[in-house]
C-alpha cells in the first residue's frame, strides 16, 4: 500500500541523516547556540538577501505558530484567519490556550484578501470586543492554493494602513515558492510579511521549522518565549545541521520541486482523464473529484484522505506528494486509476 496521505510519512533526506552522523561526536553548545545553528542562520539570511532578520529554529509547525503568535501579541489582541486556517482548525486550540481569540473569516479558496480583513476591522470597534492585530495566512494554504506577489502586496498594504501584523505559516513554503504559478521569493517575503517560517518537517527534514522575524519590534527576547513554550531543544544543533544541509546547495528547493513535479503529474493526468478539482491548487496537495466507487477501489492499493462529499456519487480526495514520492508509484496510481474508468 503506497501512501499519498501526507508529506511527512518518510524520514529525512539521506543527506541530512549523513550530516547528522558525520557531526555526531562533535561537542556543541546546547539550546541553539552551537556553530551549526549559527551557520544555518547565516546561510538562510544570505538566501533571503537580508541580514536584518532574526531567525530561530524550532521543531514543528504548531509549536512555531503558538510560540511566535503568543510572543507577538498583547492579551487582548486577536488573530484574523481564513476559516480553513490550520491554527483555527487543526491545532487543538493551541493559540487560544495562550489566551488569544482567532477571528474566523469564511473564504472560498483558503486565501484571505484585504476585503476580508477590512470586514473584520469594521465589526470590531470597541473594547467590548477583541482587537484584531495579526493577520495569519499560510502559503500554500491548507487546501493547496498559493498567494501571488500582488495579492501579498495588497495584504501588506492593508496591514500597514491598519497597524496589523502579517504572519505567514510556511509549513509547506517550499512547495509554494516552487509552484509553477509562484512569483514570490524569500526576499519578497522578508519585505512583505512581519514574520514567516520556512517549513522543514514537510519538506525533507526529520523535523524543524526556521522562523524568520522581519519586523524589529517583534525580535526582542524571542528566545525566552521559545524556552517558555518548550520549543528549545537541548541538542539544538540537530536543527542547525539539518537546515544548513537543506540550504547549502538548495536541496530544500530541489525537494520541493520534486514534490510539486509529482503533484503536477497527477494533476495533469487527472485533468486529461476528465476529472475536476475541488479547488485550484498549484502546490503539492491536489483535491480531485472522483466517483465514490473508484475511490473505494483505489483505497485498496493506495492510502489517501477522502476530503469531502461533493454529490451523491462523488467525493473530493486529497493527494499529497513530497520530496520522497516515487515517480513509479505516481505512474502506477495513474495506471490503476485509468483501469478503473
Q: Which of residues 217-276 bind a copy of itself (CB under 8 A)?
A: 221, 223-235, 237-238
Q: Which of 37, 62, 182, 203 binds a copy of itself (CB under 8 A)?
A: 62
Q: Which of 15, 17, 114, 314 binds a copy of itself (CB under 8 A)?
A: 17
Please state the closest distance from residue 246 (CB atom) to a copy of itself, in A.
15
Please state the closest distance from residue 7 (CB atom) to a copy of itself, in A.
9
- Bridge pairing between strands 302-303 and 2-3: parallel
Q: Which of 207, 218, 265, 334 binds a copy of itself (CB under 8 A)?
A: 207
Q: Which of 37, 70, 281, 283 binds a copy of itself (CB under 8 A)?
A: 70
Q: Angle at the Cα of 270 (from 266 to 276), degrees rounded to 5?
A: 125
Q: Which of 40, 43, 55, 61 binds a copy of itself (CB under 8 A)?
A: 61
Residue 8 to residues 13, 165, 199, 203, 304, Cα–Cα distance (Å)? 11, 30, 11, 8, 13
Residues numbered 290-309 forming contacts with a copy of itself, rule: CB under 8 A: 303
Which one of the spans 84-92, 140-148, 172-180, 260-268 is the region binding a copy of itself (CB under 8 A)? Answer: 84-92
Q: Which of 270, 253, 257 is nearest to 304 (CA)?
A: 270
Using the minimum distance from each CB to a copy of itself, give the nearer residue, 126 or 274.
126
Residues numbered 113-142 forming contacts with a copy of itself, rule: CB under 8 A: 127-131
Using the minimum distance from each CB to a copy of itself, give the nearer residue, 125 or 274.
125
Q: Which of 15, 35, 39, 60 binds a copy of itself (CB under 8 A)?
A: 60
Which one of the spans 45-53, 74-82, 148-156, 263-271 is the region binding a copy of itself (CB under 8 A)? Answer: 74-82
Q: Which of 45, 56, 100, 318 binds a copy of itself (CB under 8 A)?
A: 100
Please state the closest distance from residue 180 (CB atom) to a copy of itself, in A.
26
Question: Any contact of residue 76 with a copy of itself (CB under 8 A)?
Answer: yes
DSSP string, 226-252: HHHTT---TTTHHHHHHHHHHHHTSHH
Residue 252 to residues 3, 162, 235, 306, Cα–Cα distance (Å)? 22, 35, 22, 29
Q: How many CB atoms lie within 10 A of CB 15?
A: 15
- Greatest alpha-carbon span in the chain: 61
- The length of the chain is 341
Grid coordinates of 339:
483501469
Long-range contact pairs involving 298-307 (C-beta distance under 8 Å, separation at least 24): 298/333, 298/336, 298/337, 298/340, 301/1, 301/2, 301/336, 302/1, 302/2, 302/3, 302/4, 302/333, 302/336, 303/1, 303/2, 303/3, 303/4, 303/5, 304/3, 304/4, 304/5, 305/5, 307/278
Question: Any contact of residue 90 with a copy of itself (CB under 8 A)?
Answer: yes
What values do phi and psi take at 196, rounded to 5? -155, 165
Please state the closest distance from residue 76 (CB atom) to a copy of itself, in A.
4
By rule CB under 8 A, what string of x and - marks binding of each residue 306-335 to a copy of itself?
------------------x-----------
Question: Any contact of residue 21 with a copy of itself (CB under 8 A)?
Answer: yes
Question: Any contact of residue 39 with a copy of itself (CB under 8 A)?
Answer: no
Question: Any contact of residue 183 with a copy of itself (CB under 8 A)?
Answer: no
Listed in sequence order, the residues at least 6 apart from 221 whose beta carbon sits closer than 8 Å to its beta carbon are 71
Question: Any contact of residue 30 with a copy of itself (CB under 8 A)?
Answer: yes
Amino acid at each position: 500500500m503506497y501512501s499519498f496521505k501526507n508529506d511527512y510519512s518518510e524520514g529525512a533526506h539521506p543527506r541530512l541523516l549523513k550530516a547528522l552522523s558525520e557531526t555526531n561526536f562533535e561537542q556543541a553548545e546546547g539550546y541553539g547556540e552551537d556553530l551549526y545553528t549559527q551557520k544555518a542562520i547565516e546561510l538562510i539570511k544570505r538566501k533571503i538577501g537580508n541580514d536584518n532578520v532574526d531567525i530561530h529554529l524550532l521543531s514543528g509547525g504548531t509549536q512555531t505558530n503558538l510560540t511566535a503568535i503568543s510572543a507577538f501579541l498583547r492579551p487582548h489582541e486577536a488573530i484574523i484567519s481564513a476559516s480553513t486556517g490550520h491554527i483555527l482548525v487543526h491545532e487543538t486550540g493551541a493559540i487560544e490556550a495562550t489566551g488569544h481569540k482567532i477571528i474566523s473569516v469564511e473564504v472560498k479558496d483558503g486565501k484571505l484578501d484585504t476585503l476580508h480583513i477590512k470586514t473584520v476591522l469594521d465589526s470590531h470597534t470597541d473594547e467590548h470586543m477583541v482587537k484584531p492585530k495579526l493577520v495569519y495566512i499560510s502559503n500554500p494554504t491548507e487546501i493547496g492554493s498559493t498567494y501571488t506577489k500582488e495579492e501579498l502586496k495588497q495584504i501588506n498594504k492593508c496591514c500597514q494602513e491598519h497597524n496589523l501584523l502579517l504572519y505567514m505559516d510556511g509549513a509547506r513554503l517550499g512547495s509554494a515558492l516552487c509552484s509553477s504559478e509562484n512569483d514570490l521569493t524569500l526576499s519578497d517575503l522578508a519585505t512583505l510579511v512581519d514574520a514567516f517560517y520556512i517549513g522543514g518537517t514537510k519538506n525533507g527534514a526529520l523535523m524543524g521549522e526556521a522562523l524568520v522575524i522581519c519586523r524589529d519590534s517583534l525580535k526582542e527576547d524571542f528566545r525566552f518565549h521559545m524556552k517558555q513554550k518548550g520549543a528549545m531543544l537541548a541538542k539544538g544543533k540537530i536543527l542547525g545541521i539539518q537546515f544548513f544541509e537543506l540550504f547549502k546547495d538548495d536541496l530544500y528547493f530541489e525537494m520541493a520541486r520534486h514534490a510539486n513535479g509529482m503533484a503536477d503529474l497527477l494533476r495533469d493526468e487527472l485533468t486529461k482523464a476528465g476529472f475536476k478539482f475541488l479547488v485550484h491548487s498549484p502546490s503539492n496537495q491536489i483535491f480531485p473529484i472522483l466517483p465514490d466507487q473508484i475511490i473505494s477501489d483505489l483505497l485498496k492499493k493506495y492510502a489517501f484522505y477522502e476530503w469531502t462529499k461533493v454529490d451523491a456519487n462523488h467525493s473530493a480526495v486529497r493527494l499529497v506528494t513530497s520530496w520522497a514520492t516515487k515517480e513509479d508509484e505516481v505512474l502506477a496510481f495513474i495506471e490503476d486509476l485509468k483501469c478503473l474508468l
